[in-house]
Amino acid sequence: MTEIDFLNWVRGPGFQIATIIFVAGVLIRIFEIILLGRKANLAEAKGSEMSSGLRTIVTRSVPQADSFKRSTFTIVTGYIFHIGLFVTIFLYAPHILLIKDIVGISWPALPTPVVDAFAVISIISLLAILIHRFSNKVLHYLTNFEDLLVWFVTIAPLVTGYIAFHRIGFTAPTLLGIHILSVEILMIVFPFTKLMHAFTLFMARWYNGAISGYRGVES
């Protein structure tokens, strides 16, 4: 297999396999969760479920003062790498082209050096998160294999993408192929791990808000 064969495979059948597993995995899990249903609440509703649910989706994005004080490092680095991921995935011109090719919609990109800077910041914050995970005794105790796997498949596309853009070490087709492959691994691992939070997060927040709304209390 030549490096161009490899590149063509990850751009073709490899991407197809990853898409099938990603889409099927995510949808089946979401359907299962929604269809599980809840017992009918026989108590009288004291407020709106919907408005409280929707509000909570937004308000939970802002950390509360006491929890921010308690876990400043986790929250700050968490925010940095999530914003960095968003910028590198959705505001880099070649990625927008990929999305346009699949979904049909596109938007303006950020200048490449800006995206590059965001990628570096994300990589640094993810490394800091790993160091923190091992240096903090409680976090270390709670860490299992899945946590490390999820960390690895998240940082891998960032690192391989950075290397591919700057063309360090190997030849360009190999570097680009490895980058695309790392994304495919992320897509395959996604539905079966806590990475699913990217979708379930909103459902969970809405539900928390909805329970409070029904009871007429602040969420």
Partner 1 sequence: MTNKFDDKNKTLGDTLRSRGISRRSFLKFCAATASMMALPPAMIPKVAHALENAKRPSVIWLSFQECTGCTESLTRSHSATIENLIFDSISLDYHHTLQAASGHAAEAAREAAMEENHGNYILVVDGSIPMDNPGYSTIAGISNYDMLMDTAKGAAAIIAVGTCATYGGIPHAKPNPTGAVSVGDLIKDKPIINVPGCPPIPVVITGVVTHFLTFGTIPELDHIGRPKVFYGQSIHDRCYRRPFYDKGLFAETFDDEGAQKGWCLFKLGCKGPTTYNACATTKWNNGTSFPIEAGHPCIGCSEPDFWDGGGFYKALSMPTENITQTALYTAAGAAAVGVAAGALNRAKKNAATKAHPNTTIEDLEK
Residues found near partner 1 in the complex (CB under 8 A): 2-5, 7-8, 11-13, 15-16, 19-20, 23-32, 34-37, 93-95, 97-98, 101-104, 109-113, 167, 171-173, 176
Are 175 and 164 spatial neighbours (Cβ–Cβ below 8 Å)?
yes
Rank residues 8 and 59 by Cβ distance to partner 1 and give the closer one.
8
Nearer to partner 1 (CB atom), residue 129 or residue 195: 195
Residue closer to partner 1, measured from CB, 113 or 169: 113
Min dist CB 116 to partner 1, Å, is 9
Closest CA to 157 of 76, 95, 112: 95
Residue 54 or 98 having the CB closest to partner 1: 98
State which residue, 3 or 147, has the beta carbon closest to partner 1: 3
Q: Minimum distance between the CB of residue 213 and partner 1, rounded to whole angstroms?
A: 25
Rg (alpha carbons) of the chain, rounded to whole number = 20
The residue assigned the tokens 């407020």 is 47
Q: How far apart are CA 32 and CA 47, in angstroms?
A: 28
In whole angstroms, the minimum distance from the beta carbon of 142 to partner 1 comes to 29
Q: Which residue has the tokens 């937004």?
A: 58
- CB 189 within 8 Å of CB 20: no
User: CB neighbours of 119 closer than 8 A, spacing ≥ 6?
Assistant: 84, 88, 158, 161, 162
CB of 73 to partner 1, least distance (A): 33
Q: Considering the complex, what minimum distance in angstroms separates the CB of residue 216 from partner 1?
A: 29
Our CB check for partner 1 shows the closer of 25 and 63 to be 25
Give a three-class secondary structure readout of 127-156.
HHHHHHHHHCHHHHHHCCHHHHHHHHHHHH
Smallest gap, in angstroms, from Cβ of residue 177 to partner 1?
9
